[in-house]
Amino acid sequence: QVQLVESGGGLVQAGGSLRLSCAASGSIFSIFSINNKGWAWYRQAPGKQRELVATSTTGSTTNYADSVKGRFTISRDNAKNTVYLQMLSLKPEDTAVYYCKLGTRPEYWGQGTQVTVSS
C-alpha cells in the first residue's frame, strides 16, 4: 500500500511561516497511480473536529478554507510524489495537527505533524 510521510511542522511565533511536506511511497503499482489522485490537507486542534484546509485536484485546481485563504498555498510535485503546504503569516488559531490525504476509495493518510503558533 501507499505510505505518506509528513514533515515540516514545528513551533513558530505568530507571523512566521512553515512549509509542510508529505511524500508518498509504496509499490510501483501504487506509485504509478498517485498522480491521478487528488491531495488534501486537513488539520485538527485538540477538542475540535477535523477541518479541511486545502485541496489540489488532478487538474491542479486548488481550494482553501476561508480561514487560510491568502496565507496558505497547496502545491504538488508529481515527479517527487509529494504535496506541500506553504503556510505564511501564521496565527495562533492555526495551531493543530496537520494531516495530508491522498485519494479516495482508497484513501491514504499521513501520520500528522504538529504546528504550534505562539502569540
Q: What is the pLDDT of residue 67?
A: 97
Mean pLDDT of 68-78: 95
Predicted pLDDT of residue 29? 67
Average of per-residue pLDDT across 38-58 = 95
31: region left, alpha or beta (phi > 0 left; psi from -120 to 50 alpha): alpha
Find, among 13, 7, 17, 14, the residue nearest to 71 by Cα: 17
* Confidence at residue 35, expressed as pLDDT on a 0 to 100 scale: 75
Indicate the pLDDT class of residue 28, thresholds 50, 70 and 90: low
How is residue 71 written as a grid cell?
496565507
Mean per-residue pLDDT over the chain, rounded: 93
Name the percent of the chain lying above pLDDT 90: 76
What's the confidence (pLDDT) of residue 42?
98
- Enumerate residues 6+ apart whose C-beta is below 8 A from 45: 95, 96, 97
CA distances from 44 to 52, 53, 112 (A): 9, 10, 9
pLDDT digits (tens, 9 = 90+) for 89-117: 999 999 999 999 999 888 999 999 999 99
C-alpha cell at 28: 510501483
Please list, residue by residue across 52-70, b when 16 or more beta carbons sit within 10 angstroms of its beta carbon and e when fewer do.
Answer: ebbbbeeeeeeebeeebee
